[in-house]
């Protein structure tokens, strides 16, 4: 600090006196080291071994160190004031105890290297590499780069060069602990820890799970929350990252309301379960993953969760029952802008209602009105909308808490003044079937169990959304009216933030329902629409006679249509082609989707205008956010956002660091 002040004075004096005042070189920065500057300063002759005496490094397996250390800090004070030591002192908090003490001890071995007989010993590269392999995900989980001073190639050496293992003592302790547990038989079942997970723990656990099952799993982010947290999805499929022809895609979304948390936890457990059971040879899980592409977003609102979890924790700490109850029902519901995400989607239901008397109107692929983009669009909502449009989802469930019921579209009442008014979609029978699939497979939802909390057991644990209470801008209505996806809202229980002890019961109650629901995506019919040369036709419409809701084909002409058993008349149509019609009888209790393909002939004549008008143009639909309103909104309304994105939440820990700020902790990828 003194040096910086002196430097500033120097600049002032330079103008007046034109003299150069030499400021003592700062300690070795990574960049300086890279440039070969400052690091090769002459040092006092013959450095000697001395006591470590640094509190966060006092449990090393040795007691003596030497300065300058491996990073070029010339004294203990210099090392103590650097951002490297600061990181080691807060890493336990930042990483939520993950990878501790391994990361800290590894850092100490560079900062206060072992000294023996007046000689410095360097730590082993193999140790560093092992820690990095198992701990990199923890840093990724909080969006932090792997610290430069733990670069295994740069600061660590090999056995041949006479290295020592800084984690040796730790390993001995762990082996002793393991040995005392050795009587426990090796259990080949999925081990899940039924506890709550912070955002960073969740993300790192998802990445770890995908790393454990790399052949069937991967993670990807669909965007970031207001506070810059990744909205992380874990995907399961026998070909992760790729849409396969005719393979249906399903999604699960949890924690849309940040204070409704059971769904979030269930989805974290589900991911671990799918990975382990697949590897253990569970036939049911293998079949599911080999035939389905599953996308799981455990938290759509990580910012809200953080707020809710902090409040519940605070209330529990004070043993204030009333506060706990009150808080868990209110704080953190919205995102960090206090937007309720389940009211923030474009209200297409109103548009559908206003046009429903038009004879040619179909309630599907309704474009987003331009006016929507002038309102407040939450980044979480935007991320999910883009996601919905990028993958041909067939079926979805969105998990909430506060009741015990599955609610299905429409969520908006068909009459503006109509409270509790039954407001069905053209696919009422299909939605009822989908909702029952979950409710019936749930342990208590559909029964008249007096112990269950809900009001809907008497009606099978399902309800039409608007009949329960009407909302506009909800996600399930948007799914149905804008995409091919059929989504329902699952209310998992009356307690929005249950006690940790209840998480295991929650999993037991829902496990079968979660699996059965995913399997049910293989109902109805599916097929491919091609031209006479066998090329798939993208965007062709599949209509069912009597149902004013079409499904469109995906990139390679494949489609999925959830329908109930019975006889249906199907039509496939696409601009520039003649229509094709098929009569299909779908038996009850079909285990697999019936396959119905269509081959469309090129229309020879000039297209019949009347005919073409019946096929609404997809042109308007394709223009998602046509004028980049959202992008503009983000940059204009929230200049801070970019700054915040550059500087993650943990940055404040380093704002008072002496010397240079540790920009090396910011990820550049
Ligand atoms: Zn909710």
pLDDT given at position 651:
79
Residue 520 pLDDT more than 80? yes
Residue 379 pLDDT more than 80? yes
Cα–Cα dist 28/35, whole Å: 11
Region of 382 (left: φ > 0; alpha: ψ -120 to 50; beta: rest) is: alpha
Residue 297 tokens, joined: 């977003």
For 400-433, write each residue's pLDDT tens digit. 999 999 999 999 999 888 788 999 999 999 999 9
Q: What are phi and psi of 119, to 5 degrees?
A: -125, 140
Q: Mean pLDDT over residues 527-539, rounded?
A: 97
In the reported structure, the alpha carbon of residue 402 is separated from the centroid of ligand 1 by a whole-number distance in angstroms of 7
Lowest-confidence range among 20-29, 161-170, 555-564? 20-29
Q: What percent of the chain has pLDDT over 90?
A: 62
In the reported structure, the alpha carbon of residue 635 is separated from the centroid of ligand 1 by a whole-number distance in angstroms of 29
Q: Mean pLDDT over residues 601-630, rounded?
A: 66
pLDDT given at position 280:
93
* Shared fold status for 45-174+651-665 and 525-604: no
Q: Looking at 280-424, list the stretches that DSSP marks H as alpha helix, in order from N- to C-terminal side.
A: 283-291, 302-317, 321-330, 348-355, 379-390
In the reported structure, the alpha carbon of residue 333 is separated from the centroid of ligand 1 by a whole-number distance in angstroms of 8
In the reported structure, the alpha carbon of residue 512 is separated from the centroid of ligand 1 by a whole-number distance in angstroms of 22
Residue 177 pLDDT more than 60? yes
pLDDT given at position 611:
45
For 225-257, write each residue's pLDDT tens digit. 999 999 999 999 999 999 999 999 999 999 999
pLDDT given at position 24:
45
Lowest-confidence range among 69-73, 507-511, 534-538? 69-73
Q: What are phi and psi of 352, to 5 degrees?
A: -60, -45
User: Which residue in 378, 352, 380 sits closest to 480, CA to CA?
Assistant: 352
Cα–Cα dist 157/151, whole Å: 11
In the reported structure, the alpha carbon of residue 472 is separated from the centroid of ligand 1 by a whole-number distance in angstroms of 14
Where is 8: in which H helix or E strand? helix 2-17
For 266-309, write each residue's pLDDT tens digit. 999 999 999 999 999 999 999 999 999 999 999 999 999 999 99
Radius of gyration, alpha carbons of the chain: 30
Specify the fold of 525-604. Answer: Immunoglobulin-like (2.60.40)
User: Which residue in 386, 379, 347 sits closest to 473, CA to CA?
Assistant: 347
pLDDT given at position 434:
97
Q: How far is CA 436 from the centre of its chain?
A: 27
Q: Mean pLDDT over residues 466-484, rounded?
A: 96
pLDDT given at position 349:
95
Give the CA angle between residues 481, 527, 246 to the nearest 5°. Answer: 85
For 107-126, write each residue's pLDDT tens digit. 999 999 999 999 999 999 99
Active-site entry in 116, 491, 512, 646:
491
pLDDT given at position 329:
57
In the reported structure, the alpha carbon of residue 345 is separated from the centroid of ligand 1 by a whole-number distance in angstroms of 14
Q: Is 173 helix (H, G, I), strand (E, B) or coil?
A: helix
pLDDT given at position 615:
47
User: Which residue in 327, 269, 342 sits closest to 510, CA to CA?
Assistant: 269
Q: What percent of the chain has pLDDT over 70?
A: 83
pLDDT given at position 659:
58
Contact 410, 464 (CB under 8 A): yes
pTM (global) more than 0.75: no
In the reported structure, the alpha carbon of residue 241 is separated from the centroid of ligand 1 by a whole-number distance in angstroms of 29
What's the mean pLDDT when you consider all of the chain? 85
Contact 225, 303 (CB under 8 A): yes
CATH superfamily of the 199-522 domain: Zn peptidases (3.40.630.10)
Which CATH code fits 45-174+651-665?
A: 1.10.2000.10
For 572-595, write each residue's pLDDT tens digit. 999 999 999 999 999 988 778 999
The answer to whether residue 491 is catalytic is yes
In the reported structure, the alpha carbon of residue 195 is separated from the centroid of ligand 1 by a whole-number distance in angstroms of 21
Contact 392, 351 (CB under 8 A): no
For 203-213, write each residue's pLDDT tens digit. 999 999 999 99
> 496: cis peptide before it, omega within 30°?
no
pLDDT given at position 629:
76
Query: Could you state, in order of their start, the residue ranges of all structural domains in the chain?
Result: 1-42, 45-174+651-665, 199-522, 525-604
């Amino acid at each position: 600090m003194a040096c910086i002040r002196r430097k500033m004075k120097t600049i002032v004096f330079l103008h007046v006196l034109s003299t150069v005042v030499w400021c003592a070189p700062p300690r070795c920065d990574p960049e300086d080291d890279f440039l070969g500057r400052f690091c090769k300063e002459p040092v006092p002759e013959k450095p000697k071994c001395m006591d470590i005496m640094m509190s966060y490094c006092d449990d090393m397996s040795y007691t003596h160190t030497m300065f300058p250390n491996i990073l070029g800090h010339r004294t203990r004070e210099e090392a103590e004031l650097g951002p490297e030591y600061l990181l080691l002192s807060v890493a336990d908090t930042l990483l939520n105890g993950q990878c501790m003490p391994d990361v800290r001890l590894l850092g100490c071995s560079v900062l206060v290297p072992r000294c023996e007989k007046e000689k410095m010993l360097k730590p082993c590269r193999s140790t560093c590499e092992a820690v990095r392999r198992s701990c990199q995900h923890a840093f990724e989980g909080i969006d932090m780069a792997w610290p430069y001073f733990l670069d295994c190639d740069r600061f660590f050496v090999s056995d041949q060069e006479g290295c020592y293992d800084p984690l040796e003592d730790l390993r001995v302790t762990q082996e002793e602990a393991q040995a005392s547990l050795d009587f426990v038989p090796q259990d080949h079942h999925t081990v899940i820890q039924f506890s709550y997970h912070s955002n960073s723990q969740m993300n790192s656990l998802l990445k770890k799970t995908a790393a454990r099952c790399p052949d069937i799993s991967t993670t990807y982010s669909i965007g970031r929350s207001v506070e810059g947290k990744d909205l992380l999805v874990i995907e399961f499929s026998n070909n992760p990252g790729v849409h396969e022809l005719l393979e249906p895609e399903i999604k699960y979304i949890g924690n849309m309301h940040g204070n409704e948390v059971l769904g979030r936890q269930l989805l974290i457990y589900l991911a671990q379960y799918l990975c382990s059971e697949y590897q253990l040879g569970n036939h049911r899980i293998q079949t599911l993953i080999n035939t389905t592409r599953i996308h799981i977003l455990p938290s759509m609102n990580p910012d809200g969760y953080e707020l809710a979890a902090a409040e519940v924790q605070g209330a529990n700490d004070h043993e204030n029952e009333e506060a706990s109850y009150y808080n868990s029902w209110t704080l953190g519901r919205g995102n960090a802008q206090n937007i309720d995400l389940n009211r923030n989607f474009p209200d297409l239901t109103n548009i559908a209602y206003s046009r429903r008397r038009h004879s040619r109107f179909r309630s599907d692929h309704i474009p987003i009105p331009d006016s929507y983009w002038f309102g407040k669009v939450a980044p979480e909502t935007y991320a999910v909308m883009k996601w919905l449009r990028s993958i041909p989802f067939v079926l979805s469930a969105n998990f909430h808490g506060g009741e015990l019921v599955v609610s299905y579209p429409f969520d908006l009442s068909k009459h503006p003044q109509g409270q509790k008014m039954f407001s069905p979609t053209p696919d009422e029978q299909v939605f009822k079937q989908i909702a029952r699939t979950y409710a019936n497979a749930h342990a208590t939802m559909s029964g008249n169990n007096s112990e269950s909390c809900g009001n809907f057991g008497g009606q099978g644990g399902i309800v039409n959304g608007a009949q329960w209470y009407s909302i506009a801008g909800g996600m399930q209505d948007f799914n149905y009216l804008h995409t091919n996806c059929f989504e329902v809202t699952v209310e998992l229980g009356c307690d929005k933030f249950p006690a940790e002890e209840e998480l295991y019961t929650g999993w037991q109650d829902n496990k079968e329902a979660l699996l059965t629901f995913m399997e049910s995506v293989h109902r109805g019919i599916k097929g491919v629409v091609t031209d006479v040369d066998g090329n798939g036709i993208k965007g062709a419409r599949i209509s069912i006679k009597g149902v004013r809701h079409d499904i469109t084909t995906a990139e390679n002409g494949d489609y999925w249509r959830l329908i109930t058993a019975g006889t249906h008349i199907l039509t496939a149509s696409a601009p520039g082609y003649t229509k094709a019609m098929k009569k299909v009888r779908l038996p009850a209790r079909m285990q697999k989707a019936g396959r119905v393909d269509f081959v469309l002939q090129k229309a020879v004549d000039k297209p019949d205008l009347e005919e073409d008008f019946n096929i609404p143009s997809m042109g308007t639909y394709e223009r998602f956010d046509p004028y980049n309103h959202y992008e503009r909104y983000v940059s204009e309304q929230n200049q801070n956002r970019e700054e915040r994105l550059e500087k993650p939440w943990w940055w404040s820990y380093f704002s008072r660091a002496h010397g240079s700020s540790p920009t090396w902790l910011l990820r550049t990828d």
